[in-house]
Chains A and B, each alone.
Chain A
Amino acid sequence: KQEVTQIPAALSVPEGENLVLNCSFTDSAIYNLQWFRQDPGKGLTSLLLIQSSQREQTSGRLNASLDKSSGRSTLYIAASQPGDSATYLCAHDQGAQKLVFGQGTRLTINP
């Protein structure tokens, strides 16, 4: 059974810091890995999709990497801002659009 683990469960940092969120998965035979953010009581916003043939993707201040051999993905956020405060979720695509989610990292950026 595929499991996705995110560490840490919560993170609080001052504004302006660079930070890394971690995601590990047990099955290296993945299709895609997707990072989302979720604001309280809201739906999920897609941040980055890394397809299985790729090693990283970048969008603005966000960079996500994928290492299938070690079963890990990281989301790097540069120059954090208070608006980045949210829960960040990684999800592994098991095929046929079935995503298996981690429990998320609750990020707080302090002004």
Chain B
Amino acid sequence: KAGVTQTPRYLIKTRGQQVTLSCSPISGHRSVSWYQQTPGQGLQFLFEYFSETQRNKGNFPGRFSGRQFSNSRSEMNVSTLELGDSALYLCASSSPGNEQYFGPGTRLTVT
């Protein structure tokens, strides 16, 4: 089985721009979660989608949003980028109640 894939792997954006990141889960997994990892805050939960519905949301501003498609692929969007949004963004897929499998991440740098 192919693992979780994320695109792009690296991204450089300017303050004020917006960005869209993509995540393709493991085949058969319907749950996709997103996390932000920074040196200062560690790994923090952004949101989780299951069957195209957001079931859970972390404590992030409304500039962070996401969606899930009928094939379980998910995208997250960050609008009006700030320097502090520079981070490694990770997505994970799973079957309900089971082990979460992470992708390689997208490294976002905001200048």
Contact = CB atoms under 8 A, between A and B. Distances in A.
Interface of A: 31-32, 34, 36, 41-46, 49, 51, 89, 91, 95-104
Interface of A is mostly: strand
Nearest to B59: A1
Prevailing SS type, chain B contact patch: strand
Interface residues of B, number: 28
Interface stretch (B41-49, B65-73, B75-83): B41-49
B87 to A, nearest CB: 12
B3 to A, nearest CB: 9
7 contacts: A43-B4, A89-B43, A96-B50, A97-B92, A97-B94, A97-B96, A101-B42
A14 B90 CA distance: 32
B31 A97 contact: yes
A106 to B, nearest CB: 12
